[in-house]
Amino acid sequence: MKDDHLLRKPAELLVAHGHLLVAKDLQGPILDLAAGDCHNATFLAQGGARVIACDRSKEALDRGKREATRLGITIETWQVDLEEEGINPLPVAFYSGMVVFHYLHRPLIPCIKKALKGGGILIYETFTVDQPRFGKPHIPDYLLKPGELRQWFDDWRIIHYFEGIKHDPARAVAQIVCQKGGMK
């Protein structure tokens, strides 16, 4: 089992680009989608952002909420099934930013695009089809095809894009940091 302190480290991509989400002029909350134990939400809240962490697991959200309280910060949590068929669980044009790490549910992509306000920032990293050689996940539905992530957001301003192998730990991922067009 991993050490608890390792579970709380924010994603490297978020550390590198999180400053885009803690700007003082943001007009709405940041959503940590499929947040798990809220380690990324906690990182953003420590920077002063208003963060909502959503996940299916009440237990994971409760762990994150306890950690935030221990750190003296506030995060909102929202238990939701993001994969309920035929439902868009995300409010339209509500979030100023969104972070998604190691989660892929293709039917949710149009909902993500609609949920961000104009000018909103998306930071997204998940596994590609090359991941099985490094470990889980192995299921093709959870793995991006080459260029798929970029293609979904090719009409947005791309700030950062990477697709390939990252190390420590070794993993095959695609990453994007992008901004939705339109006014804030």
State pLDDT tens for residues 108-167.
Answer: 999 999 999 999 999 999 999 999 999 999 999 999 999 999 999 999 999 999 999 999
> If DSSP codes are grouped into helix, strand and coil, which group holds residue 157?
strand
> Which pLDDT score, from 0 to 100, does residue 23 have?
72
Percentage of the chain with pLDDT > 70? Answer: 93
Q: Does the pTM of the predicted model rise above 0.75?
A: yes
> Which pLDDT score, from 0 to 100, does residue 165 have?
97
> Which pLDDT score, from 0 to 100, does residue 22 have?
87
**Cis upstream peptide for 110 (omega within 30°):** no
Going by pLDDT thresholds of 50, 70 and 90, the confidence category of residue 184 is low
Q: Which domains does the chain have, with CATH numbers?
A: 4-179 (3.40.50.150)
pLDDT at 7 over 50: no
Q: Which 8-state DSSP code applies to residue 87?
A: -
pLDDT at 5 over 60: no
Q: Provide the mean pLDDT of the chain.
A: 92
